[in-house]
Amino acid sequence: MRPIHLSSKIFLDSGDPAETKKAIDVLGFLDGQTTNPTLLVKVPEIGEMKANGQVTRENIFPLYKGIVQNISSLIPDGSVSIEVFADYSTTTDDMLHQAYEMYSWIPNAHIKFPIIPAGLAAAQKFSQDGNRVNMTLCFSQNQAAAVYSSTNGAQRGSTFVSPFIGRLDDIGQNGISVVRNILQMFNNSDHHVEVLAASIRNVNQLMAALALHSDIITIPFSVIDDWAKQGMPVPDEQFSYNTPSLQDIPYKDLNLQLPYTEFDIQHELTTKGVEKFMQDINTLFA
């Protein structure tokens, strides 16, 4: 059962419908699910097919479609994020071609575009057509500002931005501070962009995101299970994410009304993340 004081939506970060069922069973609820190419590789069904040489470039989309349709049927009132297959060589038109196809797979899709120039251009067009997006691989306040600007005019609930906490922590920066800064930046906005805290590695990071009242938090099943075993605690604003070894990231005063092209969206972790996702997909065809 949903905790009384829980204000954030809880998503499962997984490409496996079996974990969707387990998460619903453990929590008693589930508000949505995020999928991506890396998670697709981890689905047992896909792994078995890969071992038998049955995964090809021709059937990967139908396989992905079947998986997300299964997930969608389990959480029909939630959101399911589906990610385009893209790297820095993928054009805006290529991303849009994928996005429109993927969006037709289920009625509750958010399409994930990477926060790179072609991804923002695709998101702008896709959003202007009234479709839902989840802008992924966010590691900076500037990137979140660009997402806001590129999707200006969208309805609340139709646009997510996903700052990755764990990956920033991995390089000695406090990922929670990026979530905090983005939420603060959006305080006086129209709130059409919702903050989806991602790359959660443990319950302590989950507690920190809950204390900030992140709009949405996506977590792997292992963390969901740990949280449930602890009684699904919900911290108040006084919760301290005590990480003296991590460098805090300072807040920037940014003008959200600037064109999205005015924001510096470069980040080494975005570059690595885009490359990693495509590498994971390519391993399926080895």
- DSSP bridge pairs for 81: 34, 110
List of residues 6+ apart from 236 with CB closer than 8 A? 211
Question: Is 112 a catalytic site residue?
Answer: yes
> Tokens 């092209």 — which residue?
261
Tokens for 22, please give them. Answer: 């387990």
Q: Which helix (H) or strand (E) holds 108?
A: none
- Count of C-beta atoms within a 10 Å radius of residue 46: 21
Q: Which of 21, 42, 112, 125 is catalytic?
A: 112
Per-residue CA distances from 81 to 49, 224, 238 (Å): 23, 18, 32
Q: How many Cα atoms sit within 13 Å of 97 on the Cβ side?
A: 8
CA distance 211 to 34: 21
Query: What residues act catalytically?
Result: 112
